[in-house]
Chains A and B, each alone.
Chain A
Amino acid sequence: MVRAAALGCALLLTLGLLPVAAHAQTKEDTLVYALQSDIDTWDPPGSVLREAIILGYHVFDHLAVRDLKTRKVIPNLAISWKTIDDTTWEVKLRQGVKFHDGTPFTSKDVKATFDRVLDPVKKMIARGNHAKIKTVEIVDDYTVRFKTDGPYPLFVERMTAQVMESEKVIREKGDEWMQEHPVGTGPYKLVKWSRKQEHMLVRNDDYWGPKSYYKYVRIRIIPEQATQIAELISGGVDVIKAVPPDQMDVINKSGAARTATSPILRTAFLQLDQAARSGPNPFTDRRVRQAANLAVDQDAIIKHVLNGLGDRVATAVNPMAFGWDPNLKPYKQDLDRAKKLLAEAGYPNGGVDVVFHEGPPTVEPAIQQTNDAIVADMTKVGFRVKRNYIGDNTVVVARAKEGKLGPMFNWSWGYYSVFDADAILYDIFKCGEFYAYYCNKELDDLIISGRSSLDQKKRAEIYVKAQKLLFDDAAYLFKWGLRGVWGVSNRIEYSAPPDEVDRMFLATPRKK
């Protein structure tokens, strides 16, 4: 009897949940896209992760989007927009669009989306992006008016950075439900989400826009980079992103896949805790920050470690962004001056102890190798760097937000794909923002005036001043603008997106 019981238990355990055969999709109708880490939520305004933005583009739509060829903002869910006066924008919406659950898309959805994001109590991540919008008014079913806090020149750009969610869902289902059940108007619908394993998307055949070729998109989470590359060249995956420059030749020589590169908005830098958010530290002294910038030979790192795939920048403003000052030259390595500055700051024999929090290479490839080189250079002038590696990007982001990553940590910023200096200055340098470890009233004033004028010439001048301030003050340890490297299977046509948003709905099979 006991024997039978034991045997029975064993059988139950084995039979229980044998892996069921996957969906009935075939290779021809499925595109496979690999990510290194999973998103934390399917509610895009609640996440700062690039992966959340990318996946958001597949299931949701925005009021406006960027044309990848002309880089201009073109209509999407909004068909036209104009300013009524200095502080009012009027937007006309597209008709005949339906959410995945059948509800028609109208102005009440726009209002509900923005109200939710702007709600000060909810503290959504995306709030800072749209803080200049005071209220959203419904004029009629397909017309919306945005009242802004002073002139808001970035309004058009920022329309590409907010997905439209369903008013019905917001009202009836609530925040928690929305984290796992995205209901959008986009070209794909979410079928299944196995956390940290994969997502399955199916084509929305009622989509108002151009129909995507592939019926299914399978998004696989593959944390190990070597495995990702192996999958790409053995045909298991069609697109991978953030390929380390060192591995490009493996892909290109394989005959089964190729690499595609593009300069992207994403800019990398090391944040130095000038604002002392994590407590007192050596970087509150400008001389120490300058010494750090002068110690590192960034150009050599770009050349040798990144194989040239990086664009040196003087501050964190990217050359592709509006407002970039081409006349400002970056720091050149000067070890003697660095040591002198440290001596002046009270460290005549070096011995500057700092903790360096590092993250995984999910959006910034070769981050470990470049960090190694940077630390080696800093050590030459007297910094003693203690390194702390955090393996999970979600954790890095969470701790950064809470001010716990000082005195020094890796950060990069994708600008939410908004090609404007404001998109980085506000979130990364303005005192008190979630991800800013810098506090300078003068800069804050410049930022506010920069985003309050509709005169582009005036704005450009303001941003030149801002960049000079950041440079002279050595706000952070500045590095470079990234070049995105994608690995693409030879069975599909796909070009590298300069705004770092992968669009699987644009991929088509390669003609033989």
Chain B
Amino acid sequence: MRRYIAHQLVQLVVVILGISILAFSILHVIGDPVTLLLPQNAGKEEYERYKHLMGLDQPVWVQYWKFASRAVQGDFGKSWYGNAPAFGLVIERMPPTIYLTLAGLGVALLIALPLGVIAALKRHSVIDTLCTLLAVAGQAMPIFWLGIMLIIIFAVRLKLLPASGYGTWQNFIMPAFCLGAFLAPLTMRLVRSGIIEVMSMEFIKTARAKGVGERMVILKHAFRNACIPVVTVLGLQFGQLLGGAFITETVFAWPGVATLTVDSIRNQDFPVVQCAVVLLALIIVFVNAIVDLVVGLIDPRIRAA
């Protein structure tokens, strides 16, 4: 068990390091920050002076070291558009995205679990195909489209929900549904395959079965088994969600970090992008680590190791 945890921790550190290096280097490859900040007619002297001022004339690894050592203390520099500290900007907008993602995952499960179970039980039948199609439909429909349609129906026509914004629990419903629909297909497939696998095991076990007690045990195992891949992938999905979250946040005027990150990349606002990417990675890795821990606790195969 301890080895497992240690192993996870090492993975965590390595991945975060890798991501920060990747983020750092990508941004420096994208463009020359000095040229971006200076007016067009700035002379060569001014250019060199600024470069020195920003510390960009030093070797890359020195720059990275400076960035990393300051980052660890929470100092990611100031945004180039507005002078607010990058860290503050990102942290301020983190919670709405996290809550949205959690809510979206919740909705995805709500859709995927029943569909997956039904599809698994009625495998290879029409119902199986229909369930799959239903789950896939959520992702095939462009999120943007779905979002606006929901707003038109529930906010404008029926006046049941607020059209956009952040603050009350009603604000969560439509955006969470959009994201959830986006996540449902993959989750559903996993639930389906997990249950199928267990069912096949069940046949073997019932061959040796001796009564109701065994059935309960199998049911417990069925769920656990189905949960493992689902939980693992949900952890991974967290990271891939930025794209879906971005559109959802834009449509619903959700003050989240996804829009901040995408906007900052477009604006080439380096400090904010670096901060956002590193913090997001931290959270994702953290979530994955917890997930792996949970899986380790559930899955007897790993516990035994």
Tell which of A219-227, A241-249, A494-502 binds the partner.
A219-227
Within 8 A of A (CB), among B12-70: 38-41
Bitwise interface map of B from 77 to 93 toward A, beta carbon under 8 Å scored 1, else 0: 00001111000010010
Using Cβ atoms and an 8 Å threshold, which residues of chain A touch B5?
2
Question: Nearest Cβ distance between residue B217 and chain A, in whole angstroms?
Answer: 21
Question: Between A and B, how many residue pairs show CB distances below 8 Å?
Answer: 117
Question: Nearest Cβ distance between residue B112 and chain A, in whole angstroms?
Answer: 21
Tell which of A15-23, A97-105, A284-292, A459-467 binds the partner.
A15-23
Asked if B155 contacts A391 (CB within 8 A), the reply is no
Using Cβ atoms and an 8 Å threshold, which residues of chain A touch B162?
234, 236
Asked if A227 contacts B92 (CB within 8 A), the reply is no
In the complex, what distance in Å separates the CA atom of A176 from the CA atom of B168? Answer: 33
Say whether B223 faces chain A, with CB atoms less than 8 Å apart. no
Using Cβ atoms and an 8 Å threshold, which residues of chain A touch B266?
390-392, 395
Q: Which residue of B lies closest to A279 (CB)?
A: B40
Using Cβ atoms and an 8 Å threshold, which residues of chain A touch B1?
2
Question: Nearest Cβ distance between residue A40 and chain B, in whole angstroms?
Answer: 5
Say whether A398 faces chain B, with CB atoms less than 8 Å apart. yes
Using Cβ atoms and an 8 Å threshold, which residues of chain B touch A512?
none
Asked if A236 contacts B92 (CB within 8 A), the reply is no
Question: Nearest Cβ distance between residue B26 and chain A, in whole angstroms?
Answer: 19
Question: Nearest Cβ distance between residue A208 and chain B, in whole angstroms?
Answer: 32
Q: Given that A224-B250, A403-B40 are known contacts, is A392 also in contact with B164, CB under 8 Å in the complex?
A: no
Asked if B297 contacts A234 (CB within 8 A), the reply is no
Asked if B82 contacts A41 (CB within 8 A), the reply is yes
Asked if B163 contacts A224 (CB within 8 A), the reply is no
Asked if A19 contacts B297 (CB within 8 A), the reply is no
Q: Which residue of B lies closest to A32 (CB)?
A: B165
Asked if A402 contacts B99 (CB within 8 A), the reply is no
Asked if A3 contacts B263 (CB within 8 A), the reply is no
Asked if A395 contacts B156 (CB within 8 A), the reply is no
Asked if B92 contacts A194 (CB within 8 A), the reply is yes
Q: Given that A41-B82, A278-B40 are known contacts, is A231 also in contact with B294, CB under 8 Å in the complex?
A: no
Asked if B267 contacts A220 (CB within 8 A), the reply is no
Question: Nearest Cβ distance between residue B253 and chain A, in whole angstroms?
Answer: 4
Bitwise interface map of B from 133 to 156 toward A, beta carbon under 8 Å scored 1, else 0: 000000000000000100110011
Question: Nearest Cβ distance between residue A501 and chain B, in whole angstroms?
Answer: 23
Asked if A234 contacts B95 (CB within 8 A), the reply is no
Question: Nearest Cβ distance between residue A477 and chain B, in whole angstroms?
Answer: 21
Question: Nearest Cβ distance between residue B227 and chain A, in whole angstroms?
Answer: 15
In the complex, what distance in Å separates the CA atom of A19 from the CA atom of B102? Answer: 14
Tally chain A residues at the interface, Cβ within 8 Å.
Answer: 49
Contact of A226 among B40, B148, B166, B168 (CB under 8 A): B148
Asked if B152 contacts A230 (CB within 8 A), the reply is yes
Contact of A2 among B148, B165, B297 (CB under 8 A): B297
Within 8 A of B (CB), among A236-273: 236, 254
Within 8 A of A (CB), among B95-140: 95-96, 98-99, 102
Asked if B260 contacts A236 (CB within 8 A), the reply is no
Contact of A402 among B39, B167, B267 (CB under 8 A): B39
Say whether B252 faces chain A, with CB atoms less than 8 Å apart. yes
Asked if B290 contacts A404 (CB within 8 A), the reply is no
Using Cβ atoms and an 8 Å threshold, which residues of chain A touch B205?
none
Q: Given that A6-B290, A196-B255, A394-B81 are known contacts, is A19 also in contact with B39, CB under 8 Å in the complex?
A: no
Q: Given that A17-B95, A195-B92, A395-B81 are known contacts, is A223 also in contact with B253, CB under 8 Å in the complex?
A: yes
Say whether A9 faces chain B, with CB atoms less than 8 Å apart. yes
Say whether B159 faces chain A, with CB atoms less than 8 Å apart. yes
Asked if A277 contacts B40 (CB within 8 A), the reply is yes
Using Cβ atoms and an 8 Å threshold, which residues of chain B touch A14?
102
Interface residues of B (CB under 8 A from A): 1, 5, 38-41, 81-84, 89, 92, 95-96, 98-99, 102, 148, 151-152, 155-156, 159, 162-168, 250-253, 255, 259-260, 263, 266-267, 286, 290, 293-294, 297
Q: List 27 A-B contacts (CB under 8 A).
A: A2-B293, A10-B290, A18-B99, A22-B167, A179-B83, A198-B255, A220-B253, A222-B164, A223-B253, A224-B251, A226-B148, A227-B163, A230-B151, A231-B164, A235-B159, A236-B162, A236-B163, A236-B164, A254-B156, A278-B40, A391-B263, A392-B267, A394-B267, A395-B266, A401-B39, A402-B38, A402-B39
Q: A179-B83, A401-B39, A403-B39 are in contact. List 14 more A-B contacts (CB 8 A).
A: A2-B5, A6-B290, A9-B286, A19-B95, A179-B82, A222-B165, A226-B151, A236-B165, A391-B263, A391-B266, A394-B82, A394-B267, A395-B267, A402-B40
